[in-house]
């Protein structure tokens, strides 16, 4: 038993005693500073990339956990995660400074350096900790007065700890002497110079007057330290001792760096990637390249470490002007894209918009990075659309619009990816139809599956008129109809409404007719409700539902919502075909179903809405029939049919054909 206690005590000492912890930190720092053959320490080698890799790696773990359902469904595109850091591997961001560049202290201005410090609440926290320590000491003293044996026990252990600590301190002093010599050889020559407001202001004025001033290197070194401020504890970062200096450096460099580099390179604002690549062999580029590398690398570190969404959006807005400089380094642009896509998927709208604008800029300048951009953004979209609720439905709609715009940059390449993704959707649907097992059905009845199908519907609607996408259109329509028939019944009415709306959009862009009413009415199975059931009030929000809970099926609110949304979807369908020569045939079956629904519904307010729609469709049908009776051409005569449609559209200003259909679907647009 005594042996076991001794083992625990030794384990506790190794983990929790301050002397042991301090010794372990010193040993780790020695290993981190072990020099390479090239002369630079491993700590310096990691200073540029390590701070970014840790949060990025942590984000990848979170993203992978969120993508579990996507991996099961098999909807993700494979990604090439190989990082090419050769562009900036020969630099850690530090630049050799001119010895004539002066540093100023705030005391020369009459202000003490300590006046620059921004109190962020640490003093208050220290006061609270001191008060707690005093209270604990008082309790311990009272306990020692009451129990003399306990006091003797404490004195015995305190004497042993002091003897043990003195031995450890002697060993640590020797290690400190070795570490100090290593630190003095590895540190940058300007680490002992404090950056003050006066110093930064003087440098900014010199650089603003003359972009080629020697203080530019010192200012970029200060920017390097500012990008690690609050994260790294290296001596160079400790040169910045207030947040005021931090904001002063970041604001000036991000605002003026792009103009300074363009002045050095003598290039205009509309320069493209080709000219930048040609400049890389010029002498003036070789002179300015270390400065550009330092600025780009440190900016990436800043993006990886910032957590405030408002500041991140501001930084991205400033960096977007320098997107053409990133195009000179393809592997650095890939690293930038991965950071931007992570920020794009965040829930903050301003940050997502700023990130997307820069993603589009980089993808346009670098076609070789477009594959990574499309793969990473698509997989991130799947992870973000895993769960849909009232709070994030607008954000997912924004991500869909952004992704459609990115895929429209290169439609032919995107069509190949769309074919692959639609094939995956089709395979999942076939498996669910074959087995009818809950696990396979759950893969189809999921937001990831529906949002993925909606993405390709939107992509087709944007590009169908300009490109030959009929095979893709046919595949998507088959998937939509297959999902609709796989889930019958009133509980799946929200899912049906979304699928019917997708068919409406595809019909509008392709001018092809799809039998939408048959998909809609076969799930509207209503019966007469009792007075008790009609009185039930339960708020139903279809925007975040694919399947309605059973406890809401008998509520009056659900009944009303179903009828109103069905009217909206049918109105959108009729609005497209109301001027077509075949509208009487299109409206015949829906009119029969609407009249049957009018008879089944017992709620008077809904009966009025249905009756009004029936009357308008009947009137529209009669108008087209009267016009059609006066013509002699065949329906196969395409030219005559188009002329007939144009004549009907000319009468819409005086008729009531389109006004009703355009005013009804407001509720549907708000819902979707």
Q: How confident is the model at residue 99, as a pLDDT?
A: 56
Q: Which band of pLDDT confidence, cut at 50, 70 and 90, is reported for residue 456?
A: very high
Residue 642 has pLDDT above 90, yes or no: no
Q: How far apart are CA 409 and CA 378, in angstroms?
A: 14
274-307 pLDDT, tens digit per residue, is 677 777 777 788 888 888 889 999 999 999 888 8
Average pLDDT over residues 445-460: 95
More confident residue, 639 or 280: 639
Return all residues near 393 (Cβ < 8 A) that are at least 6 apart.
543, 544
In the 3-class helix/strand/coil scheme, how is 616-655 assigned residue by residue? HHHHHHHHHHHHHHCCCCCCCCHHHHHHHHHHHHHCCCCC
Q: How far apart are CA 336 and CA 340, in angstroms?
A: 6
What are the φ and ψ backbone dihedral angles of 546, each rounded to 5 degrees? -110, -25
38 in a structural domain = yes
Last residue of a domain, one of 41, 66, 91: 66
Handedness of CA 178, 183, 189, 193 (dihedral sign): negative
Handedness of CA 615, 596, 665, 642 (dihedral sign): negative
Range in 223-232, 338-347, 366-375, 436-445 with the lowest mean pLDDT = 223-232
287 in a structural domain = no
Average pLDDT over residues 626-649: 80
Q: How confident is the model at residue 124, as a pLDDT?
A: 57
Is the separation of the CB atoms in 429 and 486 below 8 Å? yes
- Which residue range forms the structural domain that includes residue 648? 542-670
Q: How confident is the model at residue 316, as a pLDDT?
A: 93
638 in a structural domain = yes
Of 187, 251, 241, which is closest to residue 219 (Cα–Cα)?
Answer: 251
613 in a structural domain = yes
* DSSP codes of every residue in 398-415: HHHHHHHHHHTSSHHHHH
Is the separation of the CB atoms in 517 and 570 below 8 Å? yes
DSSP label at residue 233:
-
For the chain, what is the domain count?
Answer: 2
159 in a structural domain = no
Q: How confident is the model at residue 658, as a pLDDT?
A: 60
Q: Which band of pLDDT confidence, cut at 50, 70 and 90, is reported for residue 345?
A: very high
Of 469, 536, 547, 556, which is closest to residue 506 (Cα–Cα)?
Answer: 469
Q: How confident is the model at residue 186, as a pLDDT?
A: 41
Q: How far apart are CA 74 and CA 10, in angstroms?
A: 50
Last residue of a domain, one of 66, 94, 119: 66
654 in a structural domain = yes
Of 361, 351, 360, 349, which is closest to residue 393 (Cα–Cα)?
Answer: 349
435 in a structural domain = no
Is the separation of the CB atoms in 422 and 476 below 8 Å? yes
Q: How confident is the model at residue 556, as a pLDDT?
A: 80
508-552 pLDDT, tens digit per residue, is 999 898 988 888 887 665 554 544 555 555 566 778 888 888 888
More confident residue, 26 or 117: 26
385 in a structural domain = no
Of 577, 625, 570, which is closest to residue 598 (Cα–Cα)?
Answer: 570
Reduce the DSSP state of residue 35 to 3 states and report it. Answer: strand
Model-level pTM? 0.73
Last residue of a domain, one of 66, 84, 114: 66
* DSSP codes of every residue in 501-516: HHHHHHHHHHT----H
Separation of first and last alpha carbons in the chain: 69
Q: Could you tell me the two tokens for 503?
A: 């068919």
């Amino acid at each position: 038993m005594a042996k076991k206690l001794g083992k625990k005590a030794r384990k506790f000492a190794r983990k929790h005693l301050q002397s042991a912890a301090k010794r372990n930190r010193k040993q780790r720092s020695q290993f981190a500073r072990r020099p390479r053959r090239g002369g630079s320490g491993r700590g310096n080698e990691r200073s540029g990339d390590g701070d970014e890799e840790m949060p990025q790696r942590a984000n990848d773990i979170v993203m992978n956990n969120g993508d579990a359902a996507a991996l099961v469904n098999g909807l993700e595109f494979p990604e090439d995660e190989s990082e090419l850091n050769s562009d900036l591997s020969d630099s850690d961001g530090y630049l050799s400074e001119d010895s004539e560049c002066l540093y100023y202290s705030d005391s020369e201005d009459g202000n003490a350096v300590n006046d620059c410090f921004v109190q962020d609440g640490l003093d208050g926290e220290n006061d609270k900790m001191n008060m707690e320590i005093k209270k604990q000491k008082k309790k311990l003293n009272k306990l020692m007065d009451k129990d003399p044996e306990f006091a003797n026990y404490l004195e015995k252990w305190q004497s042993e700890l002091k003897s043990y600590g003195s031995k450890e301190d002697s060993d640590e002093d020797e290690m400190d002497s070795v570490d100090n010599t290593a630190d003095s050889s590895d540190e940058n020559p300007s680490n002992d110079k404090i950056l003050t407001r006066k110093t930064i202001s003087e440098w900014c004025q010199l650089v603003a007057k003359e972009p080629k001033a020697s203080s530019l290197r010192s200012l970029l070194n200060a920017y390097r330290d500012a990008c690690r401020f609050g994260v790294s504890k290296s001596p160079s970062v400790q040169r910045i001792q207030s947040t005021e200096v931090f904001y002063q450096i970041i604001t000036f460099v991000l605002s003026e760096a792009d103009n300074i580099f363009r002045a050095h390179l003598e290039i205009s604002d509309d320069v493209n990637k080709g000219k930048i690549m040609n400049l890389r062999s010029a002498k003036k580029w070789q002179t300015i390249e270390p400065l550009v590398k330092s600025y780009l690398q440190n900016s990436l570190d800043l993006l990886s470490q910032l957590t405030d969404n408002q500041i991140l959006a501001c930084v991205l807005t400033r960096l977007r002007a320098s997107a053409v400089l990133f195009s000179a380094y393809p592997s650095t642009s890939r690293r930038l894209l991965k950071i931007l896509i992570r920020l794009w998927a965040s829930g903050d709208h301003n940050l997502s918009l700023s990130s997307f604008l820069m993603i589009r800029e980089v993808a346009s300048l670098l076609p070789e990075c477009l594959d990574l951009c499309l793969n990473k953004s698509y997989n991130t979209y799947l992870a973000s659309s895993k769960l849909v609720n009232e709070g994030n439905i607008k954000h997912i709609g924004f991500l869909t619009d952004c992704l459609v715009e990115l895929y429209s940059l290169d439609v032919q390449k995107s069509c190949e990816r769309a074919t692959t993704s639609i094939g995956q959707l089709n395979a999942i649907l076939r498996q669910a139809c074959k087995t009818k097992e809950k696990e396979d059905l759950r893969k189809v009845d999921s937001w990831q599956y529906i949002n993925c199908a909606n993405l390709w519907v939107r992509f087709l609607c944007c590009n169908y008129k300009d490109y030959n996408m009929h095979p893709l259109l046919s595949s998507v329509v088959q998937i939509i109809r297959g999902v609709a028939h796989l889930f019958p019944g009133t509980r799946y009415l929200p899912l049906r409404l979304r699928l019917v709306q997708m068919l409406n959009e595809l019909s509008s862009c392709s001018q092809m007719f799809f039998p939408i009413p048959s998909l809609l009415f076969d799930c509207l199975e209503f019966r007469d409700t009792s007075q008790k059931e009609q009185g039930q009030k339960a708020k139903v929000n279809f925007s975040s539902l694919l399947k309605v809970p059973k406890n809401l099926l008998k509520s009056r609110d659900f009944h009303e919502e179903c009828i109103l949304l069905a009217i909206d979807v049918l109105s959108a369908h009729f609005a497209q075909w109301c001027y077509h020569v075949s509208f009487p045939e299109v409206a015949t079956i829906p009119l029969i179903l609407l009249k049957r629904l009018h008879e089944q519904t017992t709620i008077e307010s809904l009966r009025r809405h249905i009756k009004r729609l029936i009357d308008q469709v009947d009137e529209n049908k009669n108008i087209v029939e009267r016009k059609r009776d006066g013509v002699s051409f065949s329906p196969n005569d395409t030219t005559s049919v188009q002329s007939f449609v144009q004549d009907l559209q000319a009468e819409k200003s005086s008729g009531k054909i389109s006004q009703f259909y355009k005013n009804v679907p407001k509720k549907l647009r708000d819902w979707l």
